[in-house]
């Protein structure tokens, strides 16, 4: 199932300056713009998130606050919480899985939309291109076309997550 996410962007003059935005982003309506993003199903992502957590979410990789693709997990970076969870304590929370979803989708929202619409192959997405070694990746090759992690992620993107592949990818 495809989802359409509406991304609302509101920039004030100081925020635009801080992000290096040009003056032409200030529209007569106050600078509010909505971008519709096609995205894979968020509920199915609960099956896929453990693959990202295990393969990408270590504290020295994408389990860091400053990363554009930030992955939370029970064994890595944690969201602030009242339960006292810290790395290695407790399972990944639903809130952390939701943040992982938005991090994956938000990394390249326009490209994700084109992939979901069938206009580009899934391997154009950085979430696949980098771990496949198709683009430079400090972490090196983390998945191979046709392995369980690849099948898990691409099946989710195509709309029918392969739970068996996702489970197998976390056992490796």
What separation in angstroms does the CA of 133 have from each of 8, 70, 88, 127, 143?
33, 19, 29, 11, 8
CA distances from 29 to 33, 37, 126, 136 (A): 9, 21, 34, 41
Domain ranges of the chain: 40-171
Q: Do the Cβ atoms of 71 and 53 come closer than 8 Å? A: yes
For residue 164, how many other CB atoms are within 10 A of its CB? 13
Helix (H, G, I), strand (E, B) or coil at 106: helix
| Stronger pLDDT, 84 or 57, i.e. the higher one | 57
Of 85-94, 104-113, 130-139, the range with the lowest mean pLDDT is 85-94
Q: pLDDT tens across 134-159, in order? A: 999 999 999 999 999 999 999 999 99
Task: Return d(Cα 10, Cα 169) in angstroms, integer.
Answer: 39
pLDDT band, residue 90 (cuts 50/70/90)? confident
pTM for the full predicted model: 0.80
Question: What percentage of residues in the chain have a pLDDT greater than 70?
Answer: 81
Nearest C-alpha neighbor of 77 from the set 104, 93, 57 = 57
């Amino acid at each position: 199932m495809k989802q359409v996410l509406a991304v609302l962007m509101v920039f004030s003059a100081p925020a635009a300056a801080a992000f290096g935005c040009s003056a032409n982003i200030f529209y007569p309506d106050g600078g509010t713009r909505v971008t519709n993003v096609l995205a894979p199903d968020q509920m199915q992502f609960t099956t896929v998130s453990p693959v990202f957590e295990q393969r990408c979410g270590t504290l020295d990789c994408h389990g860091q606050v400053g990363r554009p693709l930030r992955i939370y997990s029970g064994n890595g970076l944690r969201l602030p919480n009242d339960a006292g969870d810290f790395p290695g304590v407790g399972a990944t929370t639903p809130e952390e899985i939701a943040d992982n979803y938005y991090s994956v989708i938000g990394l390249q929202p326009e490209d994700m939309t084109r992939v979901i619409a069938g206009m580009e192959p899934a391997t154009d997405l950085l979430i696949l291109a980098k771990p496949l070694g198709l683009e430079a990746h400090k972490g090196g090759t983390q998945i191979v076309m046709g392995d369980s992690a690849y099948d898990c992620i691409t099946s989710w993107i195509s709309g029918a997550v392969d739970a068996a592949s996702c489970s197998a990818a976390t056992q490796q």
